[in-house]
Amino acid sequence: MNAEQCEFVAGDAHIKVKSRFNEGVVNLIAGDIGPFEAGMPCTVPLWLAIDLRRRHKCEIIPPEWLTVERLKELIVMEGEIDGLAPLPEAFFEIAHLLTRHAKEDLVDGDQMKTLVQDMWDKREAKLRTSMLSFLAQSELGHARIDSVQKIELATMREPILLSCQHIDRLVANEHSLSSQ
């Protein structure tokens, strides 16, 4: 899976909206949604929330973790532990979609975007350091990756696979030279 596919899958996450229209229950393949009452919160898939927001039919209510204060707490927690801190599922994808398509519905949307980028940078640095430590082992075994996000796996997958292939070739060359 690549980053775009991760974002597409994250579109199925449910989020609250405050509708600006009245409508009964809407039957979708993934399930029924609604009823919609103007001014009342309703839970919908993220893709629908973005579409409704684009057509000015709702206001998106951001998840409780998408506030400046909570993001700062998560960044501090990320800096305090050795491994990766647990984050809500599809954290980066949802934050990216909301800051791109519904920044007006977010309090301090620009600052949130910066904080999410800071979190990404911290976690990417940790993953890169872990990957280098793993690859530097004389005997490769297995690695344990806790609290990693799907999009992080998607972005790190290719470099890890290429590195492992290069190490495999080097080990094979070393064995062929030592047998000669």
User: How far is Cα 74 from Cα 38, in angstroms, rounded to an integer?
Assistant: 34
Helices (H) and strands (E) in the chain, counts: 6, 5
Please list the helix, strand and coil fractions of the chain in percent, rounded to the nearest 5, in that order.
55, 15, 30
Assigned token pair, 39: 């001014």
pTM over 0.75: yes
pLDDT per residue as tens digits for the range 39-49: 999 999 999 99
* Residue 54: pLDDT over 90: yes
The reported pLDDT for the residue numbered 140 is 61
Whether the CA torsion 168, 170, 175, 179 is positive or negative: it is positive
pLDDT over 70, % of the chain:
95
Tell me the sheet residues that pair with 18: 41, 59
Assigned token pair, 70: 């909570």
Q: Where are the domains of the chain?
A: 3-179
User: How far is Cα 148 from Cα 118, in angstroms, rounded to an integer?
Assistant: 16
Q: Which residue has the tokens 């094979």?
A: 172
More confident: 119 or 161: 119
The reported pLDDT for the residue numbered 149 is 87
- Determine whether 82 is exposed, middle or buried from the number of CB atoms within 10 Å of its CB (0-12, 13-18, 19+): exposed
Domain boundaries 3-179, corresponding CATH code: 3.40.5.50
More confident: 163 or 151: 151
The reported pLDDT for the residue numbered 175 is 72
